[in-house]
Amino acid sequence: NAGVTQTPKFQVLKTGQSMTLQCAQDMNHEYMSWYRQDPGMGLRLIHYSVGAGITDQGEVPNGYNVSRSTTEDFPLRLLSAAPSQTSVYFCASRRVAGQETQYFGPGTRLLVL
Amino acid sequence: GENVEQHPSTLSVQEGDSAVIKCTYSDSASNYFPWYKQELGKRPQLIIDIRSNVGEKKDQRIAVTLNKTAKHFSLHITETQPEDSAVYFCAASISGTASKLTFGTGTRLQVTL
């Protein structure tokens, strides 16, 4: 199993540009989520999904959109990038029932100029 | 919502000494408390977790204790080694389908020779 994968690894955007961060998992996990990590602030939840067709907001959802059309994929969209969105983004997944171990992807480093 | 505070933000210990990291949480309904280790440039990885029905859990050199009454939990690393150097995050959540992990702000542990 590849686990949780993310693309791209690194991206530079200009203010106002849009892009999609890709996340995929091959563990048949129902629950997927996106976090951003900023220095001194830990990991903050952006959006999450408990299954295909179901998404909800986390702690810091503004400026981000998500959709979940399949169990495997959970893309994160930035519609109009802002410098405040410069961060490292982690996707994670876990099973809904039983063991709650959350597995993280390798991360995407985003720089918005 | 849940709020998790973590201390200290940095910790330096000599190889072979013990390290203790402490976290407090605000929501008395929280019942799942994982600890993640993040090496530089890597993804967070689960190292140990504890549920509210137990007070302590050990895994080789790592242990976690939980005081539900005081709403705090701690990570203990004994006989520290240079490879223990990393950032450690505590987190808390209420178990369930849509449970959301709330993370502390992290502790940078440096193990010196």
Q: By CA distance, what is A97's nearest residue in B?
A: B97
Query: Cβ of A48 and B102 within 8 Å?
Result: no
pLDDT of residue A100: 75
- Tell me which of A31, A99, A104 to substitute to probe the interface with B (most B C-beta atoms closer than 10 Å): A104
Q: Is the peptide bond before B8 cis (omega within 30 degrees of 0)?
A: yes
Which pLDDT band holds residue A2 (cuts at 50, 70, 90)?
confident
Q: Which amino acid is at A83?
A: P
Which pLDDT band holds residue A39 (cuts at 50, 70, 90)?
confident
pLDDT of residue A99: 61
Which pLDDT band holds residue A98 (cuts at 50, 70, 90)?
low
The top-scoring range by mean pLDDT among A38-52, A94-108, B16-30 is B16-30
Q: What tokens does B86 get?
A: 């990393």
Query: Cβ of B106 and A42 within 8 Å?
Result: yes
Strands (E), chain B: 4-7, 10-14, 19-25, 32-38, 45-51, 56-59, 62-67, 72-77, 86-92, 102-103, 107-112
pLDDT of residue A43: 95
The gap from C-alpha A93 to its chain's centroid, in whole angstroms, comes to 10
Query: Is B34 part of the contact surface with chain A (CB cutoff 8 Å)?
Result: yes
- Mean pLDDT for B58-80 is 97
A113: pLDDT strictly greater than 80:
yes
CA distances from A49 to A12, A97, B73, B100, B109 (A): 27, 14, 28, 10, 33
Q: What percent of chain A lies above the pLDDT cut of 90?
A: 88
pLDDT of residue A31: 94
pLDDT of residue B96: 78
β-bridge partners, B51:
B32
CA distances from B43 to A113, B22, B80 (A): 24, 22, 21
B14: pLDDT strictly greater than 70:
yes
B48: pLDDT strictly greater than 70:
yes
A104: pLDDT strictly greater than 70:
yes
- Tokens 């919502």 sit on residue: B1
- Mean pLDDT for A79-87 is 96
Query: Cβ of B43 and A90 within 8 Å?
Result: yes
d(CA A46, CA A62): 8
A19: pLDDT strictly greater than 80:
yes
Which pLDDT band holds residue A101 (cuts at 50, 70, 90)?
confident
d(CA B49, CA B95): 13
Work out whether strand A10-13 and strand A108-112 pair parallel, antiparallel, or are unpaired: parallel
- Tokens 């990291």 sit on residue: B21
Q: What tokens does B56 get?
A: 């302590």
H-run or E-run covering A111: strand A108-112
Q: What does pLDDT average to over chain B?
A: 95
Query: Cβ of A45 and B101 within 8 Å?
Result: yes
d(CA B7, CA B22): 5
d(CA B53, CA B19): 25
Query: Is B95 part of the contact surface with chain A (CB cutoff 8 Å)?
Result: yes
Q: By CA distance, what is B47's nearest residue in A?
A: A101
